[in-house]
Amino acid sequence: MRKFVLLILLVALTYNFGLAGISPLQKEIYRARDSVLPALVHIQPVITDFRTGKMRKQSVVGSGVVFHEDGYVVTNYHVAGKAERIICTMPDKEQVKAELIGGDPLTDIAIIKLDLSKYSGKIQVAELGDSDSLQVGQYVLALGSPLALARSVSYGVISTTDRYFPGETRLPSGERTGIYNNWIQTDAAINPGNSGGPLVDLDGRIVGINSRATLFANNIGFSIPINIVKEVIDGILKNGKVIRSWIGVQCQELQNLESWFGTEINEGVLISSIDSKSPAEEAGLQAGDIILKMDDEPVSARFAEELPAFYKKIADHPIGSQIDLTVMRGERTIYVTVTTHELGEMLGKDLECKEWGFTVKAITKQMAVDNQLEDTLGVFVSGVKRVGAAAEAGLRRGDIIRGLNELPTMSFQEFFDTYNQFIETEAEKVLLTVKRAGGTKFVLIKATNHKADEEDK
Amino acid sequence: MRLIVVLMTFLLSVGSLSAQNFDFDKIYSRASEYTVAVNLVIEVSFGTQTTDAKNRGIGSIVSADGLVMFDGTPIDSEDPFSIMSGMQISAEPKSIEVVMMDGTKYTAEFIGIDRFTKIGFCRIITEDGKKFPYVQFKKRKSYKIGEWLALFTLLPEYVSPQMGVDIGLVSANIMEPEEFVLTAGFNELEITSILYDTLGTPVGVLGDLENPALSGFDASRMMDSFSQMEDFMPLLGVIGAEKLNKLIKDPPKRGKVDRGWLGIYLQALTPDIAEFWNVDSEGGIIVNEVVKDSPADSAGIITGDILVELEGHPIEVNKEENLPVFQKKISEMGAGAAVALTVIRRQEKGIDTLDINVTLVQAPISPAEAPEYEDTNFEIKVRDMVFADYNIFNLDSDLKGVVVKEVEPGGWGAVGGILPGDIIQSIDGVKTETVDDARAALESMDETKPEEVVFFVWRDSKTLFINIKTDW
């Protein structure tokens, strides 16, 4: 009798867990899994960091997904955008090398290409979906390597489709990010290491690239909508980067301010701030102006969530093109034409001045705008080693070196060349002219200090 | 022979008496009449949080009409540590209570704090004409290393009497960065206590030698010096009668300190840079920038000049840490002082030496001294912009407004999104260039009672509009 009951139980169990009893939802999850998991890549880039005053290599872990049969993988900029070399682990656990094709810090997207020459497996490609049709509450999977645990799948719903982060967000490497997109929020678990991995709908299509999570919270993760990513991919594959127009306006939602400015609901975009030396300033735009139409199309941003799309509309203009704006200023309506400039790189390239113990960055136009600099001449000191000739001399992070030995202000290239000359000729003393809050400072580097330093090692 | 021995013994005993034995009974009975405890109530804010803090310290009555001297460090709004930690101390105590050693309590009115010695002054409020016993300091020319000094230390409130003796000795006659008689055996809690020599003469008060490396607004430089513990070792010593009597005669006025100002950004001429430039000087001040229309500008000093002599004396500043010594000298000379400078000007053809006379003007006021206005409806406190604001944040001189000093959590301003540090440029379209403008704009709303008010503010080098919903 006991044996009989056991048999019945066993049959019942087999029945329950067997395929025959699978729920429709489970089937869909399996299907979605099968269409993306074989394209999931575990990424281990070695990135460089210049903030401590020397070039430091750092091994990080992230996720990515193959979207093209030639081996192109999309991931986050903060994972691979600064990679020197990249090792990827394929879904079959084979390792292949990859190279960086290009990155876009503003959307936190990077493209790498797998070296398939020595890969014995068969490459699988995942399909990019449509993020505009997402619904709050819709089921999704997040795939990736949370805490470096490769090939992990988590499951949840879309929590919201247009999460906006007020204020300025910066990547760990210092670039501003997230200006041109809202975020998909999901409760599918996203942890460090998931970065760059796909957010997948139950049709097995990628709807977002998982990029951020709220630490110490339960399942509050954020994905970059795939429709934004698609444009970035196109830009990087075509030009190696995303080319954007810039006019230098900061805008603000009009909610609660309509009666003050005398606008209708859902009418106009409020300019809150004008970047100095920008095309907008040249064109005479002012804080408090309300853009009613752009290129004869009505525009509006009543809520902050609408701002990224407006900024993107400006950025999507060809470089050097004219944007016709219909602007409300107080009681009057004026017409302003702004000629766009290229937005350009957020941050300049890095250089390690190893012999003197500090690192510098080239100053880009955006850095000059951000830091209210008159021009892009000189180099920005991004880090000073604690012990070294530069630290000894009193050079500080954030200083801008404008001149060497009182020669006229120079460019990054000139700095680079002159620096190398000094090292070659073993110059003992070099006077840096440095700009620092509160004026100019003279900093005398004594290279002899450094030599003693080297011998210690 | 015997007589000589007796005489010798007598002389020696007198000698040892004057060296080590104080007549404490006499000193104590006198001191207990003018030594007081000073209870301060101070407003301290961290970010948006403001609380009242109490501080009890020793003080002394220094004039018959009830002028009291006390340790002003707790209300020093320019204290580098509080600036660095983001703590804001109200520039004035909210209330002062002076407690005599017999327990009598008086309310006192704040007068001011001396920027250099950090000695605070207040005056006891009394019915007309009450005379107080007070201390009179006697000038001492020199101090011998090893000579004894005594002071009275303030004991905790729960014991009686509240005064106890402490002794220490002169440990060094410091010459640099400034002359200072260093003592050993006393502690920081005893700062501003009266120092008596062995004859019982009040010679000064205990004070500390300011570490030049830790003074001023330069937080990053303070960070640099964090690795050196010796920077934090307080150097206690004598603030002499001469300085004290000057202060007592003309106590620093609240909110207004006479500080001379040249109007230059400066850097020390280190031996390395002097050698690099072939400048023959033991030290000096490199002029990095000249403030437009400042005394230095008017006198023709230009960027790159090196100041090497002040009033005929060489400026011996040869490292950054000693810059404050020069700044202090200029500051102490006061506005209106004519200052003779010897200036080295490096030119292509060679080095010129020039004599330049500069008439100092009043230094720009500090943020703590700036006029303020507190609006009780919007629950924000604003202050005028000062020179330091433009200087520290590298602001465009065209930027005009009032700086938000405090925002009461949960108030209209806070809920609307005003943050401390915002610079309010206009309120409902009315420009607010001074606290008076802001006051006029906000007080007029008492009558109009608008439902919404739009502030236009500057924040982190961007501007924005802030809508504040009111609830009259």
3.10.20.30, 2.30.42.10, 2.40.100.10, 1.10.3720.10: which CATH number matches B370-469? 2.30.42.10
State the pLDDT at residue A72.
97
| Residue-wise pLDDT tens digits, B281-340 | 889 999 988 988 999 999 999 988 999 999 999 998 888 878 878 888 898 888 899 999
Picking from B108, B23, B91, B115, the residue whose alpha carbon sits closest to that of residue B57 is: B108
- Please list, in sequence order, all residues whose beta carbon lies within 8 angstroms of the beta carbon of residue A18, skipping any fewer than 6 positions away: none
Q: Is the pLDDT of residue B45 over 80?
A: no
CATH code linked to domain A127-239: 2.40.10.10
Picking from A52, A106, A109, A38, the residue whose alpha carbon sits closest to that of residue A80 is: A109
Among B272, B288, B467, beta carbon nearest to A444: B272
What one-letter code names the amino acid at B232? F
Distance CA A20, CA B186 (A): 88
Q: Give the ipTM of the model, two decimals please.
A: 0.83
Which ranges in chain A are annotated with CATH 2.30.42.10? 245-342, 350-456
- Taking CB atoms and an 8 Å cutoff, what residues of chain B touch A438? 265, 288-289, 391-392
State the pLDDT at residue A164.
94
Q: Is the pLDDT of residue B224 over 50?
A: no
Among A370, A394, A438, beta carbon nearest to B391: A438
| Residue-wise pLDDT tens digits, B402-457 | 999 889 999 999 999 999 989 999 999 999 999 999 999 999 998 999 999 999 99
A-B Cβ pairs (cutoff 8 Å, strict): 67
Check CB contact under 8 Å for B391 and A437: yes
- pLDDT tens per residue, chain A (457 residues)? 555 555 555 555 545 555 557 899 999 999 999 999 999 999 999 998 888 889 999 999 999 999 999 999 999 999 999 999 999 999 999 999 999 999 999 999 999 999 999 999 999 999 999 999 999 999 999 999 999 999 999 999 999 999 999 888 888 888 889 999 999 999 999 999 999 999 999 999 999 999 998 878 889 999 999 999 999 999 999 999 999 999 999 999 999 899 999 999 999 999 999 998 899 999 999 999 999 999 999 999 999 999 999 999 999 999 999 999 999 999 999 999 999 999 999 899 999 999 999 999 999 999 998 888 888 999 999 999 988 999 989 899 999 999 898 887 788 999 999 999 999 998 889 999 998 875 788 999 988 644 544 544 4
Was domain A245-342 assigned CATH 2.30.42.10? yes
Q: How close A237 gets to chain B, by Cα (Å)?
A: 35
Check CB contact under 8 Å for B462 and A250: yes
Query: Closest chain B residue to A397 measured between Cα atoms?
Result: B220
Q: Which residues pair with A445 in a beta bridge?
A: A430
Q: Is the pLDDT of residue B233 over 80?
A: no
Q: Is the pLDDT of residue B215 over 50?
A: no
Question: How does residue B218 score in pLDDT terms, banded at 50, 70 and 90?
Answer: very low
Q: How close A351 gets to chain B, by Cα (Å)?
A: 24
Question: How does residue B226 score in pLDDT terms, banded at 50, 70 and 90?
Answer: very low
Q: Collapse the DSSP code of A4 into the 3-class scheme (helix H, G, I; strand E, B; otherwise coil) and give the result.
A: helix
Distance CA B341, CA B354 (A): 8
Asked, colleague to colleague, whether B260-362 and B370-469 share their fold, the answer is yes
Distance CA B114, CA B271 (A): 34
**What mean pLDDT do residues B246-261 have?**
79
Task: Find the range with the poorest average confidence among A362-371, B12-21, B151-160, B356-365.
Answer: B12-21
Interface of B with A in 217-256 (CB under 8 A): 220
- Residue B158 in contact with partner chain A when CB distance is under 8 A: no
How does DSSP classify residue B444?
T
- Please list, in sequence order, all residues whose beta carbon lies within 8 angstroms of the beta carbon of residue B442, skipping any fewer than 6 positions away: B373, B375, B377, B378, B427
Q: At A363, give phi and psi (nearest 5°).
A: -95, 120
- Residue B419 in contact with partner chain A when CB distance is under 8 A: no
Distance CA A270, CA A251 (A): 5
State the pLDDT at residue A6.
54
Among B265, B320, B456, beta carbon nearest to A438: B265
**What mean pLDDT do residues B171-184 have?**
87
Cβ atoms within 10 Å of A113's Cβ, excluding its own: 17
Mutation test of the interface with chain A: which of B264, B279, B318, B463, choosing the one with the most A Cβ atoms within 10 A? B463
Check CB contact under 8 Å for A252 and B276: no
Domain range B260-362, CATH architecture: Roll (2.30)
Cβ atoms within 10 Å of A384's Cβ, excluding its own: 26
- Residue B469 in contact with partner chain A when CB distance is under 8 A: yes
Query: Closest chain B residue to A392 measured between Cα atoms?
Result: B224
What is the length of chain B? 472
Contact A118, A71 (CB under 8 A): no
Cβ atoms within 10 Å of B240's Cβ, excluding its own: 22
- Taking CB atoms and an 8 Å cutoff, what residues of chain A touch B457? none
- Taking CB atoms and an 8 Å cutoff, what residues of chain B touch A443? none
Check CB contact under 8 Å for A260 and B462: no
3.40.50.300, 3.40.47.10, 3.40.50.920, 2.40.10.10: which CATH number matches A34-118? 2.40.10.10
CATH code linked to domain A350-456: 2.30.42.10
Active site residues of A: 78, 108, 195
What one-letter code names the amino acid at A17? F
| Residue-wise pLDDT tens digits, A50-103 | 888 899 999 999 999 999 999 999 999 999 999 999 999 999 999 999 999 999
| Residue-wise pLDDT tens digits, A369-382 | 888 888 899 999 99
Extract the runs of DSSP E, i.e. beta strands, from A235-288. Answer: 245-246, 249-252, 269-274
Contact B241, B203 (CB under 8 A): yes
1.25.40, 1.10.10, 1.10.287, 2.40.10: which CATH number matches B135-242? 2.40.10
Distance CA B446, CA B377 (A): 8
For residues B206 and B325, the model is more confident at B206
Q: Which fold has domain B27-124?
A: Thrombin, subunit H (2.40.10)
Q: Collapse the DSSP code of A32 into the 3-class scheme (helix H, G, I; strand E, B; otherwise coil) and give the result.
A: helix
- Taking CB atoms and an 8 Å cutoff, what residues of chain A touch B461? 370, 372
Rounded alpha-carbon distances, angstroms, from residue B409 to B4, B324, B357, B383: 82, 38, 52, 18
For residues B80 and B472, the model is more confident at B472
Rounded alpha-carbon distances, angstroms, from residue B419 to A167, B184, B206, B368, B466: 13, 47, 41, 18, 11
Q: Is the pLDDT of residue B92 over 80?
A: no
User: Could you state, in order of their start, the residue ranges of all structural domains in chain B?
Assistant: 27-124, 135-242, 260-362, 370-469
State the pLDDT at residue B18.
46
Distance CA A238, CA B323 (A): 57
Task: Find the range with the poorest average confidence among A263-272, B106-115, B210-219.
Answer: B210-219
CA geometry: angle B356, B357, B358, nearest 5 deg? 120
Among B288, B320, B394, beta carbon nearest to A394: B320
Q: How close A151 gets to chain B, by Cα (Å)?
A: 43
- The reported pTM is 0.76
